[in-house]
C-alpha cells in the first residue's frame, strides 16, 4: 500500500512547476497520466528529451504518457472518458486556454462532479496580471522575495528557480490538491483549485509580512535584516581554500559558543549591538580565513554551533548525511542501466514513497490507455493517422 495509490491524476502541465507537483504525488503512489501535445507543437519542442533525458528526468518518473491533440474532437472525447474515472486534473496554461480547448473545470465537472481541478499559473485566474506571461524571476519580483535577496548597494541576487516554480508553484499545488481531496470526502464533490506562483511566493513570506506590519512598515532590505545578512552571527564566511561556511548562531548559547571558538568572549554581550557589528564581522572574516571550510565544519560540529559548509550541487549529492537520508537513489532504466536521481523527501513510516518507473517517452502508453478505454486497434490507428493521438 502507498499513501496515494487510489488517486488518479491527469496532468496537462508542461514546464517545471506542474511536473514537480505530479512528481510529488506520483512518488507517493498516485497514478499520473501525462496528457502530452503532438510532437510538432511549441510546448513539445523543449530540450531534454531522448532516452538519456528520460532516464535522468526525475520530474517524469512514476508517470505514464499519452499524446492527445486536444484541438481534435475525437481526442477531447478520449480525454473526457479519462476524466470520468480520474480524481485530479492539473493544468498549467495561461488563463483562457483550457476554455478554448474545452477542458476547463466547468466542462469537466459536468462529466465528473468528484474531480479536483487545479489550475497552476504565474499570476492566478483573477486580478490585473492574470494574463501576463512570466517566469520564476518575475513571480519572485511581484511576490516581494527578490527585492530582499542579495547585499546592500548591489543588484538583487537572482536565485535558481526554486522559490516560485518549485515551492510557490509545484509544492503549493500538491498540498492544495491533497487538501481538496480530503475536503471531497466530506463535501461529496470536488472543487476548483486556483494556484498562482506569485501568491505562493508571498505566502512563503508569511513571517516577513507579519514582521513588516508589526514594525509599522519597515521594509526588509537586502543584506540589512537579521535573517538576510546583517548579523555576524547569521552569515557566510570565506575560508582559506576559497570555500564558504554558513553560520546560524542566533540563540544566545550558540552565539556564546561561537565567540569562544573565535577567541573573543568579549563579543558575547554585543550580538545585536549595531555599533560593534563591523568590528565583530571583521574579526570573524579574518578568523575563518585561517582554516579550510571543511576544517572549520569539523571544529564547529564539535562545539555545538549552528554551521554548515556552503556546497555546490556536486558536493551536496556526495554529502554523507544526504546519502544516509537516501536523497540520492539509483533508478533502473532499460536502455541506460542504473542512473542516479534525487530521492524522495517525504518520509512516511507505513506508506513510504518509491520510484517505480522511469520517465516515459511522449506517447509511450497511448495504445495501452486507449485500448483500456475500449478503443479497437483499427480505431486507434485511424485516430493516429488523423493526428488526434500519437
**What residues act catalytically?**
135, 165
User: What is the separation, in whole angstroms, between the first and last Cα of the chain?
Assistant: 33
Distance (Å, whole) CA 157 – CA 141: 11
**Does residue 58 contact residue 342 with C-beta atoms inside 8 Å?**
yes
HSE-CB of 242 using CA atoms within 13 angstroms: 1
SS3 state at 289? coil
Pairing verdict, β 116-121 and 244-248: unpaired
Distance (Å, whole) CA 233 – CA 272: 9
DSSP state of 59: G
Distance (Å, whole) CA 124 – CA 184: 22
Residue 317 burial (CB count, 10 A): 14
Residue recorded with cell 498562482: 196
Looking at the DSSP bridge assignments, the partners of residue 195 are 120
DSSP state of 232: T
Residue 216 burial (CB count, 10 A): 6
**Does residue 304 contact residue 254 with C-beta atoms inside 8 Å?**
yes
DSSP state of 157: P
Residue recorded with cell 512547476: 17
Grid coordinates given for 141: 519580483
Distance (Å, whole) CA 239 – CA 245: 7
**Distances from the Cα of 118 to the Cα of 188, 294, 380, angstroms:** 18, 45, 29
Grid coordinates given for 388: 488526434
Looking at the DSSP bridge assignments, the partners of residue 328 are 342
Amino acid at each position: 500500500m502507498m499513501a496515494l495509490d487510489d488517486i488518479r491524476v491527469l496532468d496537462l502541465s508542461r514546464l517545471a512547476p506542474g511536473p514537480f507537483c505530479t512528481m510529488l504525488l506520483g512518488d507517493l503512489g498516485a497514478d499520473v497520466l501525462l496528457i502530452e501535445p503532438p510532437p510538432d507543437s511549441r510546448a513539445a519542442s523543449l530540450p531534454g528529451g531522448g532516452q538519456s533525458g528520460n532516464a535522468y528526468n526525475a520530474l517524469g518518473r512514476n508517470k505514464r504518457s499519452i499524446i492527445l491533440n486536444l484541438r481534435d474532437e475525437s481526442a477531447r472525447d478520449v480525454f473526457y472518458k479519462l476524466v470520468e474515472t480520474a480524481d485530479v486534473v492539473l493544468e498549467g496554461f495561461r488563463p483562457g486556454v483550457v476554455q478554448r480547448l474545452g477542458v476547463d473545470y466547468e466542462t469537466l465537472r459536468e462529466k465528473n462532479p468528484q474531480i479536483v481541478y487545479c489550475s497552476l499559473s504565474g499570476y492566478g485566474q483573477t486580478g490585473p496580471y492574470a494574463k501576463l506571461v512570466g517566469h520564476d524571476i518575475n513571480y519572485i519580483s511581484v511576490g516581494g522575495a527578490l527585492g530582499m535577496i542579495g547585499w546592500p548597494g548591489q543588484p538583487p541576487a537572482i536565485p535558481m528557480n526554486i522559490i516560485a516554480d518549485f515551492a510557490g508553484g509545484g509544492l503549493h499545488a500538491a498540498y492544495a490538491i491533497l487538501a481538496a481531496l480530503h475536503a471531497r470526502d466530506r463535501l461529496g464533490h470536488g472543487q476548483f483549485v486556483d494556484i498562482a506562483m506569485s501568491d505562493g511566493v508571498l505566502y512563503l513570506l508569511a513571517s516577513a509580512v507579519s514582521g513588516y506590519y508589526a514594525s509599522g512598515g519597515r521594509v526588509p532590505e537586502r543584506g540589512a535584516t537579521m535573517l538576510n545578512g546583517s548579523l555576524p552571527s547569521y552569515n557566510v564566511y570565506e575560508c582559506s581554500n576559497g570555500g564558504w561556511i554558513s553560520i546560524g548562531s542566533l540563540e544566545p548559547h550558540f552565539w556564546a559558543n561561537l565567540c569562544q571558538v573565535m577567541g573573543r568572549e568579549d563579543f558575547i554581550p554585543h550580538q545585536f549591538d549595531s555599533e560593534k557589528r563591523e568590528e565583530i564581522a571583521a574579526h570573524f572574516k579574518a578568523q575563518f580565513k585561517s582554516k579550510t571550510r571543511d576544517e572549520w565544519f569539523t571544529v564547529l560540529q564539535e562545539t555545538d554551533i549552528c554551521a554548515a559548509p556552503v556546497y555546490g550541487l556536486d558536493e551536496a549529492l556526495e554529502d554523507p548525511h544526504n546519502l544516509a537520508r537516501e536523497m540520492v537513489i539509483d533508478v533502473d532504466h532499460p536502455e541506460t542501466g542504473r542512473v542516479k536521481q534525487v530521492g524522495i523527501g517525504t518520509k512516511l513510516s507505513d506508506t513510504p514513497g518509491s520510484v517505480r518507473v522511469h520517465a516515459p517517452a511522449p506517447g509511450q502508453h497511448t495504445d495501452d490507455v486507449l485500448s483500456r478505454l475500449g478503443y479497437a486497434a483499427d480505431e486507434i490507428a485511424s485516430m493516429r493517422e488523423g493526428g488526434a493521438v500519437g
